[in-house]
Amino acid sequence: MSNAPLMPMATAVWLVENTTLTFKQIADFCKLHEVEVQGIADGEVAKGIVGYNPIMSGQLTREEINLSSEDNNRPLNLKTNDVEIENTEKKIKKYVPLSKRQDKPDSALWLIKQHSILKDSQIAKLVGVTKNSVTAIRNKSYWNFNNLNAKDPVAMGLFSQKELVDAIDKAERRIKRERKEKERAQNLK
């Protein structure tokens, strides 16, 4: 799988000006036609394009150029840097339109009813409301409680099913830990 270098025309300009590679080698490497490379050398093609050094950009090594310069039949090989891209999945707060803002308290009510083991702080974090709002909804003292309709937040796209499952797992671990601590405390008495 041989990809073209970044800025192939500018790279070809640099290779023509700075190496003894054949037009065919440069054309193959830059994914250009051999006639285009000949035109670059003659000054007819790529006028005004500044050469782009593929060594500086890490796409070629000096050794690779030297090996291909010594053997006219040897193709240049693009140096690939396997960079591991880490997905930290940092949740970005997104704008919620006015028409959808009522969905948050509705979702908090749904989570309270369906997953009562979740702490208020977990629900607040998932839904994107304050912990005080969740506590008020749980205590039925929320200012607009009578108009709330429990709605599934995953179905409405407030967060993913995976985030919900992770939160429930965390709550279950917390409950088990609290139960063990309670048993330990009673055994000490």
Q: What is the pLDDT of residue 118?
A: 94
Final residue in a domain of this structure, among 18, 52, 70: 70
**Across 142-167, average pLDDT:** 90
CB 79 within 8 A of CB 61: yes
Same domain as 123, residue 64: no
Q: What is the pLDDT of residue 92?
A: 63
Q: What is the pLDDT of residue 98?
A: 76
List the domain range (segments joined by +) for residue 34.
8-70
For the chain, the domain total comes to 2
Residue 81 lies inside a defined structural domain of this protein: no
Q: What is the pLDDT of residue 1?
A: 41
Residue 1 lies inside a defined structural domain of this protein: no
Residue 52 lies inside a defined structural domain of this protein: yes
Read off the pTM.
0.50
Give the tokens for residue 14: 């640099």
For the chain, the average pLDDT equals 87
Final residue in a domain of this structure, among 70, 88, 106: 70
3-state secondary structure the chain: CCCCCCCHHHHHHHHHHHCCCCHHHHHHHHCCCHHHHHHHHHCCCCCCCCCCCCCCCCCCCHHHHHHHHHCCCCCCCCCCCCCCCCCCCCCCCCCCCHHHHCHHHHHHHHHHHHCCCCCHHHHHHHHCCCHHHHHHHHCCCCCCHHHCCCCCHHHHCCCCHHHHHHHHHHHHHHHHHHHHHHHHHHHHC
Same domain as 105, residue 29: no
**Across 35-61, average pLDDT:** 87
Same domain as 102, residue 64: no
**Across 146-165, average pLDDT:** 89
Q: Is the pLDDT reported for residue 189 higher than 80?
A: no
Final residue in a domain of this structure, among 21, 55, 70: 70
Higher-pLDDT residue of 3, 121: 121
Residue 60 lies inside a defined structural domain of this protein: yes
Same domain as 161, residue 106: yes
